[in-house]
Structure formats: C-alpha cells, structure tokens
Amino acid sequence: MNCRCKLSSSHQVAGLPDRFRPRFLEGLAENELKAILSAATHQQFNGFSVIVRQEDAAERLFLLTSGRGRHFVLTSDGRKISMHWVTAGQIVGGAAILSTPSRYLASTEMLSDGCALAWERQTIREFVSRFPILLDNALSISITEHIEALIAANISVNSDEAGRIAQMLISLASGIGRVSSDGIEINVGNDDLAVAASVTEFEVSLTLDGWEREGVLTQGPGKIVLRRPELLITRGNPQLPA
C-alpha cells in the first residue's frame, strides 16, 4: 500500500503527506492544522472494503489520503446504483459534520487499497465550532463537487447512450484520471461504466470499440486511456456538432 501519511512512533498522525493539500483543510493556520491532525486516527483499507454504510449513524468523518473509492446506494429491491467516485483529498461521511445527528445517505467502497484520516463526530463538531473555515470548506466541496456531479448526471439522462458514456468518461477523467504519456488513464471496467452511464455492457463495448477505431481512446484490462478527450465533449453534449 502506497501510504505517505506522516505518523509518529505511536502511530499518531503527525502531518499530511508531502504536497498533499486537501480542500477540507484549506485556510487553517499551522497550529490549527496540527491540532486537527493530532485528533485524527489513521486507517488503512483494502480494495473493495466499505468505509461507510448507507443508513448507518453518521458517527465518523473520513479524509481519503490515498487510493480511490466510489459512493453507491442500494435500492429497496437490492439493486446497487453506483454514484460518483472519490479520490485522495476528498472527504467521506460528511453527514457527521451536521449539528443534528444524521445517517449516511449512501455507502462508500474502496476501489483500490488506500488510507484515510478519521475523526469521531463529536471531535470534528468541536473543531467546526472552533474553526468555522472547516464548515465553509465542506459547503464549498458540496456545491462544487457533489452538486456538479448531480448536474452532470441529469444532463446525461437527456443524452443518448453514446452521449451518456461520453459524459461519464469526461467526468471520470476529471475525477480519477491520471495523465500519462499516452493520454488520460482511467481505471474503470466496462461493467462499472455501464452501471454509471445507465446503459448495457454491450452498448459500452460497441461504443468504445468504435471510438478506439477513430483514435479517441485505447482500451486495456480494467482501464481506458483517453488519447483525444476533446473529441468526447461533442459526443457528450447533444447541442454541439459531433
């Protein structure tokens, strides 16, 4: 596991990984940041382990420091509906910040090995009272990340199958994509992409094969490399000429 968290000999959190600047902790003075980090516990997760579970009491807030995960919900008939991805630097379990005890609205699972800093609800609530910038940061994250994902999902509903796949690839490239010499690499399988875009795996396979022949992307086991991501924008926006 590629964990770069700074821990003391007693495994207490001593600092953030080098060049790691999560939005949730922006604007804090050095002594304020040190106080918050010292109250956190460090946790490691294996791939496909569940960090929080839908409907459980929101008793902990997590800040992902490595790895990536995904939110999902289970419907009353047992179907698993995938939501947006989370990457290092993002928080999980934000309902724990609320003044009124609440429950997690969705589950979050890891898609790779990773680690996180965690705070008990009472602890993070005390820090929110002491340092209101934390609440401002959480609200900013909610608006610019979560609501943005909701808008993209609603736009996608009004697109055809190829448009929805294109929208999802653009969203994933922005969220979990990694720039390489070949393009933007996204670790996602056809099955996950089909669920996220609300299409069949056959439609995903057919569409990706066509785009690969056009040079838009290349495919590999469990990954897609966007070679010309700009060409997906017109496919994801039905108002633009393809």
**Short-list 89, 223, 92, CA closest to 169:** 223
Q: What is the CATH number of the domain that holds 145?
A: 2.60.120.10
**Residue 128 DSSP code:** H
Residues 175 and 143 in one domain: no
Same structural domain, 141 and 202: no
Based on C-alpha coordinates, what's the Rg of the chain? Answer: 19
Examine residue 228 and state whether it is found in any structural domain, yes or no: yes
Same domain, 138 and 211: no
Which parts of the chain sit beneath pLDDT 70? 1, 145-159, 175, 234-242
101 and 42, same domain (yes or no): yes
Residues 58 and 148 in one domain: yes
The answer to whether residue 241 is domain-embedded is no
For residues 82 and 26, membership in a common domain is answered with yes
Is residue 118 in some structural domain?
yes
Give this prediction's pTM: 0.74
β-pair partners for 71: 108
- Count structural domains, the chain: 2
- DSSP three-state, residue 229: coil
Is the domain of 166 the same as that of 197? Answer: yes
Q: Provide the β-strand partners of residue 203.
A: none
Q: Which residues of 177-197 are buried (b: 16+ CB within 10 A; e: fewer)?
A: beeeeebbbbbbebebbbbbb
**pLDDT tens per residue, range 109-164:** 998 899 999 999 999 999 999 999 999 999 888 877 665 556 555 555 556 888 88
Q: Contacts by 56-59 with C-beta closer than 8 Å and gap 24+? A: 56/103, 56/104, 57/101, 57/102, 57/103, 57/104, 58/93, 58/95, 58/96, 58/98, 58/101, 58/102, 58/103, 58/104, 58/121, 59/96, 59/120, 59/121
* 238 DSSP assignment: T
Q: Supply the angle between the helices 121-130 and 30-38 in degrees, to the nearest 10.
A: 170
**Could you tell me if 124 and 165 lie in one domain?**
no
Q: What is the CATH number of the domain that holds 169?
A: 1.10.10.10
Residue 189 confidence (pLDDT): 82
144 and 36 housed in the same domain:
yes
Tell whether 110 is covered by a domain. yes
Do residues 114 and 141 share a domain?
Answer: yes
Residue ranges making up the domain that contains 144: 6-152
Q: 218 lies in a domain?
A: yes
Domain-embedded: residue 242:
no
Q: How far apart (Å, rounded) are the C-alpha atoms in residues 134 and 136?
A: 5
- The reported pLDDT for the residue numbered 62 is 98
Distance separating alpha carbons of residues 154 and 209, to the nearest angstrom:
26
Calculate the CA 92 to chain-centre distance. 9
What pLDDT, on a 0 to 100 scale, did the predictor assign at position 240? 43
- Rounded distance between C-alpha atoms, residue 164 and residue 149, angstroms: 13
